[in-house]
Amino acid sequence: MIDSSLTTGHVVGINGNMMAVEVDTGSVVQNEVAFVKLPDSKLKAEVIKVIGKKCFLQVFEDTTGISVGMPVEFTGNMLAVELGPGLLGQIYDGLQNPLTLLENKQQFFLQRGQYKEPIDRSKKWDWKPLVAVGDRVRAGQWIGEVPEKFITHRVLTPLGMHGTAVVKKILPEGAYPITEKVAELDVNGKTVTLTMSQEWPVKKAIKAYKERIYPEELLITRQRIIDTLFPISRGGTSCIPGPFGAGKTVLQHLISKFSSVDLVIVVACGERAGEVVELIHEFPEMKDPKTGGSLMDRTIIICNTSSMPVAAREASVYTGITLGEYYRQMGLDVLVLADSTSRWAQAMREMSGRLEEIPGEEAFPAYLESRIAGLYERAGLVQLHNDKHGAVTLIGTVSPAGGNFEEPVTQATLKVVGAFLGLSRKRSDERKFPAIDPLDSYSLYIDQMADSLNKNLDREWTKMVHEAEELLRRGAEIGKMMTVVGEEGISIDDLVAYLKSEMLDFTYLQQNAFDDIDCAATIERQVADFKLLYKALKTPFSFETKPEARKFFVALQDNFYQKNYAAESSPEYAKFVSKIEEIIVSGGGRLV
Amino acid sequence: MFKEYTKITNIIGDIIELSAEGVTYRELAAITNHNGDTSLAQVIRIDGSKVSLQVFAGAKGMSNRASVRFLGHPMRVPYSEDLLGRIFSGSGKPIDGKPEIANAAETDIGGPSVNPVKRVVPRNFIETRIPMIDIFNPLVESQKLPIFSTPGEPFNELLARIALQAKADIVILGGIGLKFDEYIGFRRKFEEGGIMDRTVMFVHTAADPVVERLLVPDMALAVAEQFGIAGKRVLVLLTDMTAFADALKEISVAMEQVPSNLGYPGSLYSDLASRYEKAVDFEGAGSITVLAVTTMPGGDVTHPVPDNTGYITEGQYYLVNGMINPFGSLSRLKQLVIGKVTRDDHGAVMNAMIRLYAKALESKKKISMGFEKTETDEKYLRYADLFEERFMDLRVDIPLNDALDLGWKTMAECFDRFEIGVKKEVVDARWPKGA
C-alpha cells in the first residue's frame, strides 16, 4: 500500500464539476478520493486524470465558491462503500450517504458537504461464529453470521485478501455492534482485526469466489411476455430501452416487486425524483411475495435523481452493483435494477467533455463501450469456495435519444446483454402494457436454458415458445398486408392466423399493471395458461365465412382475457378454462 | 474591499477572460464599460489565474479596458412579499417603472436539490376549467408539465388562462425570449383577470441579451421555492424553454465545449432536469407546480429539447392546431387523483370518451378513403363533432363536474347505453334520465 496520507495539494482551476489540482507533496493514486476545503465545508472529489504534478478531479457536489489556492487533502483510498449488516431497507444517495439522515436547517434540501455513516453504528446484531481458532480461511469466507431482516447475513473475511490466513481469535455468540472486533486473523505473519463491516472500492469487481458458472436457471419476474417469450436467467443481464412514456419505469417497478429473488437493489440513476418517492412510500406497505414481510426489507434503494450532482450519478451505478456482489458472496440471489444507464453514460460524457477528451459518436467518450461491458460483466452466477451458489442479475433501462435504438448507449448495451426487451412507442400509444415489442425483442437465454425449461416447465416448452413467436411474426405480416388490400384481399386461413396472433398478443403478452391479479402471474399459472392458449393456437379451426371466424375469436379471446382477472385456482378460473375448452371443441378442435 | 481589474485579455462571444486572483467559482462580478454602461457577469471557468465570465448584458461594444469588480457571492435574487405585482428583467432589474425592492432577504439562485426522502406523493388536483386537461389529463399539484407545441400555436394564451383559472396562491411567470407583444399580452391578461397582485414576472424579451435568458428560470424558481417554503401553493410558468436551451447551446459553443446532439451541450438533460425538478410538494408547507412551453423545432418531438424534456417531466400536453390533442398528451400523475379526489365516475368517462373519439376518427378516415358510410359511422361522426365543439375547443371554460355531466350528456345523445363500454353500475348511476 502506498502511504499517501500526507498528500496535499491546492486548486488551480475549476470548470463545472471538474477541478484541477496541483500536488504539493506526496503521491497520487488514480481514482482516489480527495477533499477540497472551503471556508464552510469539505467537498468530496475523485481523481480521474493525472498529468505530471497536476491532476484532475471530479467533484461530487455543486462547485460554487471553490477558488484557486484552496487546499485539497488526498485520502489515498479509492471511492468505496461500506459493506456489512444493516444495508437492507436503506435509501442511499450515489455515494452511500443515507438520505434519511441528511439534514439541514430547512429540512427539505440536500445541503452539500454532508457525509454520514452508511450503516448504523449503535444497532447490535446477534452474532454467531462459523469458524474456530486455528481454521484456515481465504478471501470472502464466512466467519460468522447475523440475522438481517429476512436473510442470514454472513460476515466475510476481507474480500481483497491474498492467499489464506489463520483464525487467531473469534468472538463467541452474542449481540455486538458492527464496529466490534469479532475476529483476528494471521495473514502471513501480520495480525489483521476484523469487524462485521469492511470497505470495498466500487469500481472494482468483487471476485472472492471459486468460479463463474453458466446461467441456466430462470429468474421469474411474473411478467408473462418476459418469463415466457424473452426470459432472463438468474445471473443474466438484460436491457430495457424505450422512448419516454413507453412505460420503462412502471415495468421496472413491477419487476422489482415480483421477481423471485432474495433481494433487490434499485438504482435510480438520473431519473425523476417523483418515481423514487413512489417506491419509498409504496414498498414499506407492500408484501414480499417470498417472505411475506415488507417489500422494503428485501430492498436497497440507491437514489441519485436527475437534479442531484452528476458525478455522484456516475458513481451510483457502481455503488449498486457492488452491494449486489457483496450479497452474492453470501450465496444469495440478487437483482440489480439500474434506471437509467443512459443517464449514467451521459454523466461520463459530461466529464469527458470537460477533460477535453477526443469525443466518439454523439460526443460520448471512446471508452463508453468498454465501461458498459465492464458493468454488465459484473453480473453473473458464481460458485463460492464453499460450493454454494450466488447470483447477481442486472437489468438496465436505456433512454435512447429520440427513441432511436441506433444511438451509442443502446448499441453498446446490446452487445453485452443476454436479453433485449425493446419498448415501442407504437405499442405504448396503443395502450399495450408491457410495451415490449415481441418482434424486435430477443433473449439468448431461451436456448441457453432450454434443458432446464423443458425439464421444469414442460417437455415441449421451448418448442411451443418458438412456435408462438413464429405465429406473431406471421400475424404481423398478414396485418401489414391487410392495411393494403383490406380484409377482403386475404384468405380465410390468413385471417384465422391473424386473429390467433392478435389473441396471443392481447390475452397473454399484455398485462394490466393496475389490476391486483393480472399485474403478476406466477410461473405455474403461466405454464397452465400458455399451454391452454397454445392448444387454441394449434387447433386448425375451419370457417365458412370471415365474419363467422371473427365472431368465434371474439368469444374465445374474451374468455381468455377474462380468465386473466380470475384468481389462480379460484372457481371462476376453472369456469373460464372449461368454457374455453368448450369453445375450442365447438370450433372443430378436439380435446386430448 | 473588492479589487478592481481593468485588463480584459480575451472577448469571445459574450464571454470575457482576464487575469484575477481570489475569485470563486460562479462568483458574480460588476462590469463597467468605458462608456459607463454596466452589467453583471458570472464566473464560469477558472484556469490558474485566468478567469472566464459570461456577461449578462452581452459583450457587444465591450472595451478591453472595462472595469471588472468581483462581488464575492454568486447570483442572488431578492425575496419578500413586496415582489408580488412586480415585473423584473432577466437580470433581476425592475422593468415596471417602480423602484428596486428594498430591504429584502436575498436568496442564491440554482440552490441545492430537494432530498428525495423529504418529498411526498402528490395528491391534490388542480382544476383549470379546461376539459381537455381536467378530464383527460388532470394537472396535479407539484407536477412538472410542458406544453409541446410549435410556433404560431396559442400556447401563451393557454398558459395565461391556466394561470387565471388555476387558483394558485402565487403565480410566477418566467418569460424567456418572449416577443414584446407576448409580454404585454401576459401583463394585460393578468391585470384584467385581477391576479397581478399575486404574480411576480421575470421577463426576458427576444431583444434582450442572450445570457440573461439563462437566469430567468433560476430566478423564477428560486423565488418560487421561498414562497413554497413559506406555505404558498405556487404555479410557475416558463415560456419558452426551447429558447432557454438555445441559450445554453450558444454559451457552450462559445466556451468550445464538445457538442453532443445538434450542437447542444452534453449536459442538456441535467441542465433542464435541475430546473424542472424544482417542482415539489414541501411536506407541511407549500408546493411548486411547473408548467412550461417547449416549442418543437419543425414540429419534431425527437428534437433534443422536447426529447430530453419528455424524459424529465411528468407527461406533456400536445397543443396542435389550436387544440390539446388527447392522444399524445399525458399526465403521468393522473391516476393519483382520478376517482380519488375527483368524482368516482371520472375514470370511466375519461376512458369511454377517448375510446369513442378514437373510433370516430377511424370512421372519418375510412370515409375519406372512399368507403361507404354506415349507420354506426353516422353516430360516431356526430359524436366527433360534438366532442370537438364541447370539449376540445380551447375557449370552453367549465368546471370538472359540469364537464363530466356534459360528457354523459354527449354520449347519451349519440349512443345507446350499451355501446359505450362502461361498467354497468357506473352507467346505471350516471346515464342521463330520459335519454
Q: What is the pLDDT of residues B68-90, one digit of tens each?
A: 999 999 999 999 999 999 999 98
Cell of B304: 433534443
Query: DSSP string spanning B70-118?
Result: E-SS--EEEESGGGTTEEEETTS-B-SSSPPPPS-EEEESS-PPBPGGG
DSSP-derived pairing of the beta strands B4-5 and B67-70? antiparallel
% of chain A residues with pLDDT over 90? 78
Please state, in angstroms and rounded to a whole number, the distance separating the CA atoms of residues A286 and A293. 8
Q: Do the chains contact at B261 and A363, CB–CB below 8 Å?
A: yes
Name residue, grid cell 414480499.
Answer: A288
Residues of chain B in contact with residue A280, where contact means CB-CB under 8 angstroms, are: 116-117
pLDDT in tens, chain B (435 residues): 567 899 999 999 899 999 999 999 999 999 999 999 999 999 999 999 999 999 999 899 999 999 999 999 999 999 999 999 999 998 889 999 999 998 888 999 988 999 998 899 999 999 999 999 999 999 999 999 999 999 999 999 999 999 999 989 999 999 999 999 999 999 999 999 999 999 999 999 999 988 899 999 999 999 999 999 999 999 999 999 999 999 999 988 888 888 888 899 989 999 999 999 999 999 889 999 999 999 999 999 999 999 999 999 999 999 999 999 998 899 999 989 999 999 999 999 998 999 899 889 988 988 887 777 888 889 999 999 999 999 999 999 999 999 999 999 999 999 988 888 787 888 899 999 876
Instruction: Check CB contact under 8 Å for A67 and B46.
Output: yes
Pairing mode, strands B139-140 and B144-149? unpaired
Distance from CA of B268 to the nearest CA of A (A): 10
Is B116 within 8 Å of A62 when comparing Cβ atoms? no
Tens digit of each residue's pLDDT (9 = 90 or more) over A277-326: 988 888 998 888 778 889 999 999 999 999 998 889 999 999 999 999 99
b/e for B31-69, b at 16 or more Cβ within 10 A? bbbeeeeebbbbbbbbeeeebbbbbbbbbeebeeebbbe
Instruction: Find the angle CA(A440)-CA(A442)-CA(A446) to the nearest 5 degrees.
Output: 155
Report helix, strand and coil shares of chain A as percent, to nearest 5: 35, 25, 40
Which residues of chain B from 119 to 148 reach within 8 Å of chain A, CB to CB? 119-122
Task: Determine whether the interchain pair A65/B25 forms a contact, defined as Cβ–Cβ distance below 8 Å.
Answer: yes
Q: What is the pLDDT of residue A6?
A: 77
pLDDT at B213: 92
- Per DSSP, the three-state class of B387 is helix
Q: Decide: A145 and A130 in contact? Cβ < 8 Å.
A: yes
Collect all residues of chain A within an 8 Å Cβ-Cβ radius of residue B47.
12-13, 15, 20
Q: Provide the grid cell at A419.
A: 436479453
Would you tell me which residues 30-89 of chain B have a C-beta closer than 8 angstroms to some C-beta of chain A?
44-49, 74
Residues of B in contact with A63 (CB under 8 A): 25-26
Put simply, whether A13 touches B (Cβ < 8 Å) is yes
Residues 6+ apart with CB under 8 A from B277: A272, A273, A305, A306, A307, B113, B114, B144, B312
Instruction: Give the amino acid at B128.
Output: T
Collect all residues of chain A within an 8 Å Cβ-Cβ radius of residue B24.
Answer: 64-67
Residue of chain B whose alpha carbon sits nearest to that of A408: B260
Helices marked H in A299-356: 310-328, 341-354
Best interface-test mutation with B: which of A40, A116, A277 has the largest number of B CBs within 10 A? A277
Rounded CA separation A183/A168 (Å): 7
| A519 and B CB contact within 8 Å | no
- In this complex, which of A277, A343, A346 lies closest to B116 when CB atoms are compared? A277
Residue ranges in A383-442 assigned as alpha helix (H): 408-414, 425-429
What does the pLDDT read at residue A589?
A: 58
Residue A73 φ then ψ, to 5°: -110, 130
Work out the burial of residue A22: count CB atoms within 10 Å of its CB; fewer than 13 is exposed, 13-18 middle, 19 or more buried: middle
Across the A:B interface, residue pairs with CB atoms under 8 Å apart total 165
Q: How far is B44 from chain A (nearest CA, A)?
A: 7
pLDDT number for residue A5: 59
Cα distance between residue B48 and residue B21, in whole Å: 9
User: Which ranges of chain A have pLDDT less than 70?
Assistant: 1-5, 103-106, 588-592
DSSP-based three-state secondary structure for B381 = helix
Cis peptide before A434 (omega within 30 of 0): yes
User: How far is residue A301's CA from residue A365's CA, in Å, rounded to a whole number?
Assistant: 28
Of B24, B46, B302, the CB nearest to A13: B46
DSSP assignments along B252-317, one per residue: HHHTTPPEEETTEETTHHHHHHHHHTT-EEBTTS-EEEEEEEEE-GGG-TTSHHHHHHHHHSSEEE
Do A15 and A28 contact (CB within 8 A), yes or no? no
Mark which residues 304-343 of B lie under 8 Å from A by CB. 304, 307-308, 310-312, 314-315, 327, 330, 332-333, 335
Rounded to the nearest angstrom, the minimum Cα separation between A191 and chain B is 42
Nearest CA in chain A to B266: A350
pLDDT at residue A261, as a whole number: 94
Q: B2 to chain A: which residues are within 8 Å by CB?
A: none
| pLDDT value of residue A107 | 77
Give the minimum alpha-carbon distance from A274 to chain B in angstroms, rounded to a whole number. 7
